[in-house]
A and B are shown apart, each in its own frame.
Chain A
Amino acid sequence: MTETIVEMRHITKRFPGIIANDDINLSICKGEIFALLGENGAGKSTLMSMLFGLYEPDQGEFLVRGQQVKIDSPNQAVALDIGMVHQHFQLVSNFTVTENIIMGVETSKRRLGIFPTVDLKNSEKKVAALSEQYGLEVDPRAVIEDLQISERQRVEILKMLYRNAEILIFDEPTAVLTPQEIQFLLQIIRNLRDNGKTVILITHKLDEIKQVADRCAILNRGRLIAVRDVSQTSTQEMARLMVGHDIAFTLDKKPAQFGEEILRVDSLTVENEEKYEAIRQVSFSVHRGEIYALAGVAGNGQVELADAISGLLPVKSGHIYLKQTDITQESVRARNLRGLSYIPEDRQSVGLILDFTLQDNLVLKRYFQPGFRKGQRIKLERWQSYARRLSQVYDIRSANGIQTVVRSMSGGNQQKAIIAREIDQDSDLQIYVQPTRGLDIGAITSIREKLIQERDHGKAILLISLELDEIMACADTIGVLYHGSLQTEARAGELDMETVGAYMMGAQHE
């Protein structure tokens, strides 16, 4: 390798409760494609945000071109010829490509020698030339809102190039793209390198790294695990390094006693709100006494699948059977009453009404039932006693008892409230999406124990999680979702963590 362009020495960054980056030492060479690999929350984005001046490190220092630098704002980063393409594009949608690119660095000229105007014509020429040079295929006069997602991303790339960026950081650039677009982007990244640029690629997709990267650094829970030469490392090994060896803990779990089939999903296809097929031809079934865990990286259709089963998203084709009854067209409420509980991923905006009291949230799926009302009038005493019982049994803690406004409760207690409400319906099918996200270890253990306890009571459990150790700890059956389809399905004992990890990354097609 040639000269080092960026060097990081002992970079440490703490956020309340977690260490996002722990003593990281890295050097990146000029003219290479360097990949940062790691699971969600491994600290990849934090590290790069510091290089781009969005955060400042608590300890450690950056060296750019051998000079020690203090990067405390993105402007500073740009001055050092560092550019970043974020996951969410920062473009003005009713401006043209050129207008977006030159914004902030406009060249002006004087019309008729008096009036200062933006020199659009020359800028357009320059943008077109850059687009040509790197094979970006962007029309400088197109208006952003008419462009596809992938084209907008290329505008972001042009924006960096226009500012003479030498070090280009891509934050999960392929998350929003289709397979063909991904190939096109990877080619562009190669072109950038061939023109002497340095590219840093943040990703958790192994196959992309294998295709383009020269070297890759693997992060796990904030620590740098390894730096490898991509050509001499197998995807399996990368997956193993990424997931880490230490599986935090094991749960006391009896062997599963499978009963009759409760949920059957039959070649289900679901479109999300953008009319994109988020779930394609997925089939599986869950039995009494079984925890069926669906693994997958975020955004591979998990939420859409859970929403479709619970009735929040319409089904495009295929069928859903609950206890042998076709519920594909039934309303949310009918499904609930038939025996379906759902702990949604987004607990604050779907699972709870934050401005309601704890009591009113706990009766959210009961209030209409006889016993909870008398004609149109609600039976307040019953609501109160029910809410009191649930908060006692499930140990929900709040400042003002059942009259506490849920918004003011802690995340863990909010989640406990949802789980209490859903489990208490005594439904045969329970869907858990990311049930332990963002909770502390105590709450995590208690929720996982509850899950297994419910299984032992003969419920069918569908667990959807992004965390592999959660899947490995709880599952009786494991399925892996990748790009909306079921990659593989097997008994828990038949798959080890690395294999599941590799399937999640799409490394093992067919």
Chain B
Amino acid sequence: MSKQKGCRPGWFLRLLGYKKTQFLTIPLFSILCSLLAIAILILLIGKNPLTAFQSLLQGSGWLPKPNYAAGKSILTDLLEMLDAYTPMLFASLAVALAFKAGLFNIGVSGQMLLAGFVTTVLVGYQDFPAGLAKPLVVLLGFICGSLVGALIGFLKYRFNVNEVVSSIMLNYIIQYVVGFFIQTRYVDVVSRQSRTINAPARLTLVDVAWGGVKLRLPLLFIPAILMAVLLYFYLKSTVGGYELKAVGLNRQAARYAGIKVGKRLVSSMTLSGGLAGLAGVTYYLGYYASIKPNELASLGFDSIAVSLLGNSHPLGIIFSSLLITSLDKGSTYMNSTVGVRQEVSSLVTGMILLFSACSAYIRYKVDDSLRLSLAGSEGTAAPIQRKTPASGSGKRGKNA
């Protein structure tokens, strides 16, 4: 507000301020900031940050390691990372879709857990052939998640219950109800988790031998990418996507345009829940094959930030999920080779998410200082957008 610069804005500021590429430059800037912060931290503990970052990439299968154990290769690491990536992508898409409709789905973890548990019991413990079991898992997972989402949407629409509150409460309910059933009926006495599901129901093929190495094949990896592309087109060029965005940006105007706002809220929350359900089955019946009782997957919460990092844009999320999952998967290796503890990788993730959460602020600051310095150089006051208070508009605009 106060500082009025008279000089021309620097190239960096102009690069960041360029509207057309801001969707890309701002997240990249956030990532850069966080990497720098972490590099300083690693320097402080007396290690080389470059080797640390390199080992992160090696651990997640992007760069070759110096040597591999028997039956392992760079492909093993890469596919394992992609196995973890699949649920992350679904979960982040779930958050982004709700966000586009103006809703905050903080209950992705709960929706994942319920979908994972129901499919584990109904399909995972049965002796179905793989050709039946796998599609059934996907279908049931989607339905379970979407039912939870629909409930949240309905509560919002019918009783005006804030979706954040209801989904957090549902998270608790699901977490402990599922925990109760696992511990009383489905527990494995050794691992203290739910019993491992039967192989035909699993959405990841494990120990696939190929060219002398053993690989994991996440079956829903490609469908997940396709889903992101599909959502992109849905939002961009369908009537439903247009309505959803209209509702998300301005509910009052959407109603004025004749859009059935309640219906849109419920349907987008249903779809968001369904995507969370898919995240659940690829997580609990793919990456893992059992469920830890009384615990929500932190992935469900990370996905909120991942979605933010990707600008809530389906195509952006393909990349932001990849980045965060890679950092996560590379951390074990970084720990064992460079001696930088695994926690540091969580710190990197946390930093990136923190900075990306600030991206709106960064954008605001960039635009603001750009505006000020431009105004200063032209010698005119920048126009300040002020909402003129409608002297008589009375009691409008309060309904959420």
Contact = CB atoms under 8 A, between A and B. Distances in A.
Interface of A: 40-41, 272-274, 297-299, 303, 310, 312, 331-333, 336, 342, 344-346, 348-356, 360, 364-365, 367-368, 373, 376-378, 380, 437-438, 466
A298 B392 contact: yes
Interface stretch (B61-69, B171-179, B255-263, B324-332): B255-263
A477 B119 CA distance: 68
Residue from the set A299, A342, A364 with the largest chain B CB neighbour count within 10 Å: A364
Interface in B242-262: 242, 245-246, 249-250, 252-260
B157 to A, nearest CB: 16
Interface string B359-397: 000000000000000000000000000011011111111
Nearest to B259: A333
Contacts of B21: none
Contacts of A380: 237
21 contacts: A41-B391, A273-B395, A298-B393, A299-B392, A333-B258, A345-B390, A346-B390, A349-B397, A350-B252, A350-B253, A350-B396, A351-B253, A353-B246, A353-B249, A353-B254, A356-B249, A365-B257, A365-B258, A367-B242, A373-B239, A376-B239
A444 to B, nearest CB: 16
Contacts of A367: 239, 242
Given A41-B391, A299-B392, A344 B242 contact: no
B4 interface: no
Contact of B237 (A298, A353, A377, A437): A377
A349 B239 contact: no
Contacts of A354: 249-250
A471 to B, nearest CB: 15
A312 B238 contact: no
Contacts of B257: 332, 364-365
B395 A349 contact: no
A437 B390 CA distance: 9
B229 to A, nearest CB: 15
B392 A336 contact: no
A311 B201 CA distance: 51
A273 B258 contact: no
Given A345-B393, A346-B397, A353-B254, A368 B249 contact: no
Contacts of A352: 250, 253
Nearest to A336: B258
B191 interface: no
A41 B389 CA distance: 11
Residue from the set B242, B246, B253, B256 with the largest chain A CB neighbour count within 10 Å: B256
Nearest to A365: B257
A355 B100 CA distance: 12
Given A367-B239, A377-B238, A332 B396 contact: no
B398 interface: yes
B394 A303 contact: yes
B394 A378 contact: no
| 4 A-B pairs with the lowest CB-CB distances in the bound complex, closest first | A298-B392, A333-B258, A332-B258, A364-B257
Given A298-B394, A299-B394, A303-B396, A378 B258 contact: no
A378 B239 contact: yes
Contacts of B388: 438
Interface string B112-130: 0000000000000000000
B160 interface: no
A364 B243 CA distance: 9
Contact of A312 (B250, B256, B391): B256
Contact of B250 (A40, A272, A310, A349): A349
Contacts of B390: 345-346, 437
B399 interface: yes
Given A297-B392, A312-B255, A438-B388, A378 B242 contact: yes
Contacts of B238: 376-378
A265 B125 CA distance: 65
